[in-house]
Amino acid sequence: MTAKSAAAASVATAYGYPRQGRNRELKKAIEGYWKGAVTAEALLSTAADLRRTNWAQLAEAGVGEVPTGDFSFYDHVLDASVAVGAIPPRHREAVDADPLVGYFAMARGNQDVAPLEMTKWFDTNYHYLVPELGPDTVFASNPAKAVGEFEEALALGHTARPVLVGPVTYLLLAKPAPGVAEDFQPITLLDRLLPVYAELLAALRAAGAEWVQLDEPALVQDRTPAELNAAARAYRELGALTERPKLLVASYFDRLGEALSVLAKAPVEGLALDFTGPAAANLEDLAAVGGLPGKRLVAGVIDGRNIWINDLEKSLATLATLLGLAGTVDVAPSCSLLHVPLDAAAERELDPQIARWLAFAKQKAGEAALLARGLREGTGAITAELAANRADLASRANSPITHDPAVRARAAAVTADDTRRAQPYPRRAEAQRARLGLPLLPTTTIGSFPQTTELRTARADLTAGRIDATAYRERMEAEVREVIAYQEKAGLDVLVHGEPERNDMVQYFAEQLTGYLATRHGWVQSYGTRYVRPPVLAGDISRPHPMTTDWFGYAQSLTDRPVKGMLTGPVTMLAWSFVRDDQPLADTARQVALALRDEVGDLEAAGAAVVQVDEPALRETLPLRAAARPAYLDWATEAFRLATSGVRADTQIHTHMCYAEFGAIMTAIDDLDADVISLEAARSHMEVAGELAEAGYPREVGFGVWDIHSPRVPSTAEAVSLLRAGLAAIPAERLWVNPDCGLKTRGWPETRASLESLVGAARTLRAELAG
């Protein structure tokens, strides 16, 4: 096919779409189902309505082929486990008795069974449920969801393409099941899994699917020759099937690298590639392997992870080059749109000019359709749209919001001395122990306490004007008093004020910093029914006034025990925002770090002996390719140290990380030079303890012994068992006891019961160590 005919055939498509609905209807229905207030039938009906609406929005935007199967009640990797029958034995009875109840037991656990482990989906803030596999795993196809949702779309008149997690990525994301040898490699199950995928593909073909998309984002990471050979074998075997649809193998988040030639040679009909950010290298790589003659290329030229409008002329230039490298070229966002909010048109409170800089999922679908039209009909057909796009891009580039000379001058003046504590850790530790006087195995929490309906109502009432600032302050102070009193009674050693006034650990600070914009409806799924509203980092960052000292001072006045000052670190402020794309991330991180440095200094001046600066996104933001990691870790750890290094030796700096694979960043964790780091450990069975011991980590560590993302209340015996595993790696004088994460999503009854277990475990082990 010629470039001209490839252009004439171009259509717009997408890999996936936000699941929650305009008003988070899915979240409300699921949580109602968990509480018994919504029936299973009503939940299924809500889900069907949302899918119908999503497909309609895509079609109305001009998307000619809609995805199916991307919708999920909790997580698409969990859905893949169900589709291939990879149900852990402890969940089998529940799944067999009631598939929906069993599904949520796998996702969240219950009082009888623990859930699957949860971790970050590549370098995003989305969490997936980790498959548990072993030598005895028996796969069995369950095509009901994939086929059912595809048939729904067909019945509504859509051209649809089912989407499944690819078999290689599924196995590379999996972990050995409990009790299986740690060195077991799930990829060795590929030959057992491929026949099940063959059955899934056959079922979709029988239902009328012309194309099926198999997502293989794991192949954009550095892969061994054996793993690349596995990918080649997988698609050689799937491609050789006779009863199958056409196969579109999709990758995103980075360049394919060595895997590109593997997939280009595979007997599949199409590839979907990312051409944004670091994945722009796919263009040169594709040319180097000879392109995809006679095959379909879905070109992800629109950033599916950020919210800025596309540079349409730049994308058209990329697409024009790609026309000579493939049989057909279709246009799409770079990945599933579940990573961005639904509709920028809902943000009516933003300045209209600024709002024109933003493109959420609905607008990105429209951009894909516009670019596909430009390919089909020529740029003359979209002249007006291109002119408007140029004007909007220029408006953003020239806006005073994006440039503050004073901020830039301060960042440029930072020296190496600004990023190092004045005293080495051993001397600091001695001074901090003398000041704090804590017992062995000190107990604390991560920061937040339950955000009750009453607290959320008070915040909404303030926003709506139903109460004034004084009444709101009184309500928050009453909550702080209750939280402090409870912690003293429970026996916790280092307290927190509970953060009742905070809406989100990033948004709260973003709303008080210059350079950030806030949305009202910009919800994005983090995990399950947990949605966040990432702020928009639009310009240079500074701190006009103290952000937390007032609340800290009030809390500390209520108790003689130390209260932690609580801040969110610079990397997490970037990672959990929609960050500006017009300057290096390192420059933005330094600006945020300087603003936080001012806040840390003010907290210390207000009497804080302990300041926690959370960096849960440090591992999450690690580049997927090893070659890019040293540069990232250099600026990321420097930013943390810049924020925290201006304090005295006897001021203890804490940080916190959760739900990630830490082994790859142990050196960076050390480079943070925090006095205490608290880490998720319960759901991952204290795996991180061994990693810290092996790395020779020299400072203090708090291991999470309560998985706060599950409704299970751990027993004291469970917490003791976990802590004993921690003590095998970290000596008692350097070990803290805490939950895995903040408690804002938990209720008070389970919080009280779980913290009782946590404190009881610490006391039990103190007694043992003293005896």
Angstrom distance (rounded) from CA 152 to CA 743: 39
- State the maximum Cα–Cα separation within the chain, in Å, rounded to a whole number: 84
Token pair of 169 as six digits: 């990525």
Can you give the three-state secondary structure of 446-492, one letter per residue? Answer: CCECCCCHHHHHHHHHHHHCCCCHHHHHHHHHHHHHHHHHHHHHHCC
Cα 165 from Cα 168, distance rounded (Å) = 9
Q: In 533-675, where do the E strands start and end?
A: 536-542, 564-568, 610-614, 652-657
Secondary structure string (H, E, C) spanning 175-209: EECCCCCCCCCHHHHHHHHHHHHHHHHHHHHHCCC
**How many angstroms separate the CA atoms of 766 and 764, rounded?**
6
Are 213 and 162 within 8 A, CB to CB? yes
Element (H, E) at 333: strand 326-333
What whole-number distance in Å separates Cα of residue 449 and Cα of residue 460?
18
Neighbouring residues of 669: CB distance < 8 A, sequence distance ≥ 6: 618, 657, 662, 677, 695, 697
Contact 657, 616 (CB under 8 A): yes
Q: Are 216 and 169 in contact (CB under 8 A)?
A: yes
Residue tagged active-site, from 76, 497, 656, 709: 709
Which residue, 438, 461, 453, is CA-closest to 561?
438
Q: Are strands 246-250 and 292-302 parallel, antiparallel or unpaired?
A: unpaired
Query: Do the Cβ atoms of 451 and 500 come closer than 8 Å?
Result: yes
- Of residues 646, 644, 567, the one with CA closest to residue 612: 567
DSSP 662-718: -GGGHHHHHHT--SEEEE--TTTTTHHHHHHHHHT--SEEEEE-S-TTSSPPPPHHH
Do 275 and 314 form a contact (C-beta atoms < 8 A)? no
**Treating both helix axes as pointing N-terminal to C-terminal, what angle do 748-770 and 716-727 enclose, rounded to 10 degrees?**
50
CA 23 – CA 661 distance, rounded (Å): 33
**Amino acid identity, residue 705?**
V
Structure tokens at 759: 């404190």
Helix (H) or strand (E) holding 248: strand 246-250
Q: What's the distance, Cα to Cα, between the start and end of the chain in Å?
A: 81
The DSSP-derived string for 282-296 is HHHHHHHTT-EEEEE
Kindly calculate the radius of gyration of the chain based on its CA atoms and give it in whole angstroms. Answer: 26
Q: Is 76 a catalytic residue?
A: no
By annotation, the residues acting in catalysis are: 709
